[in-house]
């Protein structure tokens, strides 16, 4: 599993030449109400195993949570299930708010 910094993800999303990854946010709905990156697919961590069919096995997936711990667990789970291009967003939305978008609310 690749660790992806928030600045690297911001550059990836801004690059019109590069295919966009699926942004998988594994936080709880109440966390998403506080802050969320645009365009995420929200699947709470506990629901990922039963919703695997919704995820592309061969496309890039960036897994996101609050600080990067839950997303790392989900990224490892996905890799163990045969997903080939999984990235963990190091620092999660908290790092995104600090380093990329200071207007994003934090918790």
| CATH number for position 25 | 3.40.250.10
Q: Is there a domain that residue 44 lies in?
A: yes
Give pLDDT tens digits for 24-79: 999 999 999 999 999 999 999 999 999 999 999 889 999 999 999 999 999 999 99
- The pLDDT score that the predictor gives to residue 13 is 98
86 touches 63 (CB < 8 A): yes
* Positions marked active-site: 65
- The pLDDT score that the predictor gives to residue 43 is 98
Residue 17 has pLDDT above 90, yes or no: yes
Q: Is there a domain that residue 106 lies in?
A: no
What tokens were used for 23? Answer: 């942004």
Residue 1 has pLDDT above 90, yes or no: no
56: Cβ contacts below 8 Å, ≥ 6 apart: 22
Q: Is there a domain that residue 30 lies in?
A: yes
- The pLDDT score that the predictor gives to residue 106 is 95
Q: Is there a domain that residue 105 lies in?
A: no
- The pLDDT score that the predictor gives to residue 58 is 87
Range of the domain at 82: 2-99
CA contacts within 13 A on the Cβ side of 69 = 2
Counting the structural domains of the chain, the total is 1
């Amino acid at each position: 599993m690749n660790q992806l910094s928030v600045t690297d993800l911001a550059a990836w999303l801004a690059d019109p030449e590069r295919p966009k990854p699926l942004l998988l946010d594994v936080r709880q709905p109440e966390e998403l109400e506080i802050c969320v990156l645009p365009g995420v697919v929200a699947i709470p961590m506990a629901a990922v195993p039963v919703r695997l069919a919704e995820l592309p096995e061969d496309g890039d997936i960036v897994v996101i949570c609050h600080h990067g711990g839950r997303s790392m667990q989900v990224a490892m789970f996905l890799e163990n299930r045969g997903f080939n291009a999984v990235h963990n967003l190091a620092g999660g939305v908290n790092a995104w708010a600090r380093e990329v978008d200071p207007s994003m609310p934090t918790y």
